[in-house]
Amino acid sequence: MIKPIGSDVLQPLFVYDTDEHQELRHEAETMPSVIVSSQAAGNAVMMGGGYFSPLKGFMTVGDAIGCSENMKMSDGSFFPVPVLCLLESVDAIKGQKRIALRDPNIEGNPVLAVMDVNAIEEVSDTQMELMTEKVYGTTDEEHPGVAAFNNQGRFAVSGPIKVLNFSYFQTDFPDTFRTAVEIRNEIRERGWNTIVSFQTRNPMHRAHEELCKMAMEAVEADGVVVHMLLGKLKPGDIPAPVRDAAIRKMAELYFPPNTVMVTGYGFDMLYAGPREAVLHAYFRQNMGSTHFIVGRDHAGVGDYYGAFDAQTIFDEEVPEDALQIEIFKADHTAYSKKLNKVVMMRDAPDHSKEDFVLLSGTKVREMLGEGIAPPPEFSRPEVAEILMNYYQTSK
């Protein structure tokens, strides 16, 4: 099985020992505490589940800048984006060496993790601008990831953490949320050796389905892990429960048995394009995948990134030997009326635009909202029905 990054074994930060867990939970109730941002809470959940292994906690500003500039922390270890706990105020924790981090996304703000504080640093505007530009490729506040990153606060609290729960992800998505530890265990139980991962924040239409099948065939994979983001998205994106239902229906009806795992992870979308693609590959290796699909405008938003920037970054910027996982570079996929099947458009040079069934996301949403099913070449009818019900009832 593929090794986790930087170690022979995965290093989740969740406290699995029952006695230690109970003791820490009791102790945390009387600790000085802060309510963290949703982005920091997602980072804690990812570290708890082993996805960010071998990271031990939240980074210092120096480490975060190193990751932003060249994907390396000060000790030389690889990480593609800053993992910061940024706060607007640190009055409640000044001078403290041990604090509780509280969840912003659950009523009552329960303790999410306990941190041993190594440093509290004020981040300058210049430092924030540098990190933003390097990671997001823009400082435009209209970019949803830029806005979320810059609106957390300017005080960075760093240090190792011990995670006590997985926020709302485990309770709201009990059939879908899985830690990297759990996915590795299931891969082992299924006897899979070659595993493709597919990232999605959207429902899967025919093109996505066929792309997974193409990748599996190309690398002779035993199975595909459809791994959906369960955290916060930008307005207009389809909620996780609807995506989950649509993806499960597609997997049930259109894939052979024991070839698909439908899972999800707890994290807020960054919309950081190329850098987020590298982060996606990083934690897919940690969860046991040997191959990862990176398609056109992967993790992008608007017109901030080139169509294939998220592929070229692996060749041009990722440090050599940083990742063992292999990248399956996919072109835009569409249904060919000439060939009566979904193809990658680069594989059909004799086609004109009219030879493909091409529908924009806006057009599909309009059709679904009006109760019109997209053509079967674009979306499986059973998937379209689930999405139509959502758009009809959410009006």
25 counts as catalytic: no
Out of 202, 248, 296, 389, which one is annotated catalytic? 202
Tell me if the bond preceding 54 is cis, omega within 30° of 0.
yes
Out of 25, 98, 190, 201, which one is annotated catalytic? 201
DSSP 240-268: HHHHHHHHHHHHHHHS-TTSEEEEEE---
Identify the DSSP state of 237: S
Task: Region of 148 please: left (phi>0), alpha (psi -120 to 50) or beta.
Answer: alpha
Paired residues of 292 in beta bridges: 197, 327
State the Cα–Cα distance between residues 259 and 119, nearest whole angstrom. Answer: 46
Q: What are phi and psi of 223, to 5 degrees?
A: -170, 170
State the Cα–Cα distance between residues 392 and 261, nearest whole angstrom. Answer: 29
User: How far is the CA of 105 from the CAs of 102, 165, 232, in angstroms?
Assistant: 9, 12, 10
CB of 241 closer than 8 Å to CB of 264: no
What lies within 8 Å, CB to CB, of 296 at 6+ separation is 307, 308, 330, 331, 332
Longest CA pairwise span in the chain (Å): 69
What lies within 8 Å, CB to CB, of 381 at 6+ separation is 373
State the Cα–Cα distance between residues 380 and 250, nearest whole angstrom. Answer: 7
201 counts as catalytic: yes
State the Cα–Cα distance between residues 338 and 333, nearest whole angstrom. Answer: 14
State the Cα–Cα distance between residues 269 and 158, nearest whole angstrom. Answer: 22
**Two tokens at 200?**
């999605």
Catalytic center residues: 201-202
